[in-house]
Structure 1
Amino acid sequence: MARFIVVVLDGFGVGEMPDVPVVRPQDTGASTAEKLLNHFPLKELPTLEKLGLINVVGETKSVMEANPDANWGQAWLAHEGGDTFMGHQEIMGTLPKPPVVLPFQQSIDAIEQALLKNNYQVSRLGKPGLQVLIVNDCVVVGDNLEADLGQVYNLTANFSQISFDQVKQIGQVVRSANGVGRNIAFGGFVDSMRQILNAIETKADPNGEVKYIGVNAPDSGTYDNGFQVLHLGYGVDAATQVPQKLNEVGIHTYLYGKVADIVQNETGTSYLSVVDTERVFELMHQDLQQQTTGFFCANIQETDLSGHLQDPRQYWKILEKSDKGLEQVISLMENDDVLVVMADHGNDPFIGHTRHTREQVPLLVYHKHTQGVEVGTRTTLADVGASVTAFFGAGLPVSGSSFLSLIK
């Protein structure tokens, strides 16, 4: 048997989706990869260049060039907005449903009652009608301010005062009491809870009404020391996704980084809460050296974090680390293995806001004996998942069309 490898460069989009002017005007002009290449015109990413990055992005100021031997294309987002959680569910073959949009204030009463029922100490902070919850004096529950507003709630914790296992238990209670698409329980070792509280901000809806309140995660200090995270999804049927479909035919799934935190993989191997780019690749390289078959999928989260920080220089450093990691992945590939390098949305560090950008994503496909193939513009990220199951002769997921016949 052979191996199918997917590496997701989180937030590395290649230009706004066609519907952006109507559904997300704040993302007009977004083009993460192109702007980074233009900002660092003399810097190179030799592996991504070989894989066809310039083929996808088109003309730039970069010294890098298109590769006529590359196999390449791009994919649209079938899910609304530009969300990491739904992006990865889509990659795994899920048919995205319209998200529930519900400001935290509309869920705060039910969440508070659920926490009190489970014997947690709960208080409120803020003005009436615009408040966060403080749980056991060390966890802040409120709106996620980085993703699409109203679709995600955050639990931001100080691990100097509470363990991650305890935070996960609180997260399960919060999850049970609301219907938005995702709840994120995370934290890090912070000197003082005051740093997290000082990072509480409010945001307005498109009409200018201030309706959202939560912790600005990059400013909270939780990313800086001992960061750990758990993503708690709603309404995703794991039985229709790639890991379960592969398990039915005896194929093992290995997940690395953020994808391991957000995709259910009960019968496979998941490396949870791994953020460091070099560590993600190190784990993948170790498994590729030992395993001759299987599905291997890694998420490189630090590109996305750099976008949230609006830090192009840091973003490029992570791309350079990823380029080296991909070079070693290719060196470990056998004749029949397939590699797909892609993204899940955009996160343009030049756009002027700190949220994800709704962008198309690259599809860079490597197979030792296939050259110069254009896989076209795919209408959903789920085409990757469908290609994975087709590769192993498994049943197709609920969404997506395989492009495997173009490659093999």
Structure 2
Amino acid sequence: MYDWLIVGAGFAGSVMAERLASVRGGRVLVIDRREHVGGNAFDCYDASGVLMHRYGPHIFHTNSEMIFEYLSRFTDWRPYEHRVLAHVDGQLVPIPINRTTINVLYGLQLKTDEEVETFLRARAEPISEIRTSEDVVLARVGRDLYEKFFRSYTRKQWGLEPAELDKSVTSRVPTRANEDDRYFSDTYQYMPAEGYTRMFKRMLDLPNIDIQTGVDYAEIKGQVAHKRVIFTGPIDQYFDYCYGKLPYRCLEFKHVTLDVEHHQPVAVINYPQGEPYTRVTEYKHLTGQTHPRTTITYEYPCAEGDPYYPIPRPENSALYKRYEALAKAEKGVWFVGRLATYRYYNMDQVVGQALATFKRIDASLAGSTSEDRLKELA
């Protein structure tokens, strides 16, 4: 008899497992349908010995000291500030758009934040109410930069026009008037020194945690005795798609190893124009690994496959709310993580959600009688 069956060994499931096992002393079984722990953050050495991310680049960044200190129990860190270039009109320019981007594209020599803001205001379109991702960009940078950087990229990434997507999608990408070319501005920007998979294995390395990979929840839920469930998979799948499928955007990856030490000047180059892929990643920039060869990944968004990104549209949110009502009524089951709560979370946000969920669980169980608590730990 397990106290907890945890479905999914990514950030949400692994954090919940570690907390429930180490703090509450519960007996925990973690399962994952894939053959490994770590979820989409899984990294491994490929056939050439290059450390790479199987499911595309994962860069850790957070403003939360609490989240950073929690994960620091399981890994040392390598300082890393992520920089991305975009291949636009045959040139490589910084993205998010900054002063350098504008100067290069338009042959200008703007020198101050004020000059850049004046340039952008002259091109911005008046939008009475910001509702869509198109509105966000047009109101900030105008039509030309929208077409160069956002429209085609968004269509590739989401399979929809920016005007069909909630404003939250493009709001995630700032526009800067200065020369800051970092993709993120968070206080803590690091990569796990030995990779994400090592971090996950340390997190789950407790005597009262058992792990089974290559196992689907549908196959095991009636065969393993357990008291409670932490579910981190797609919420619609848990309820057998009774209201229909929640739409997700999926990804395909083409991994290529090259006989060169480096292929591109930064870890990620975005391709927001005519190419069929959205970005190319070179992992040695992320990991700091020294190796005579390099591995790159071409990323192709698609409609079918493993779910990666919930699609933020009003009708999808409404459908999720119906599943959320079922989840709230489900006894002894907690839904945690991006897929289980149909939200586009960063990694640190998933960790924060899992830690907050554990606190609520711990507080609720702490209110039970001593006899009940003994049963919990039996």
Asked whether the two chains share a fold, i.e. TM above 0.5, the reply is no
Q: Which has the larger radius of gyration?
A: 2
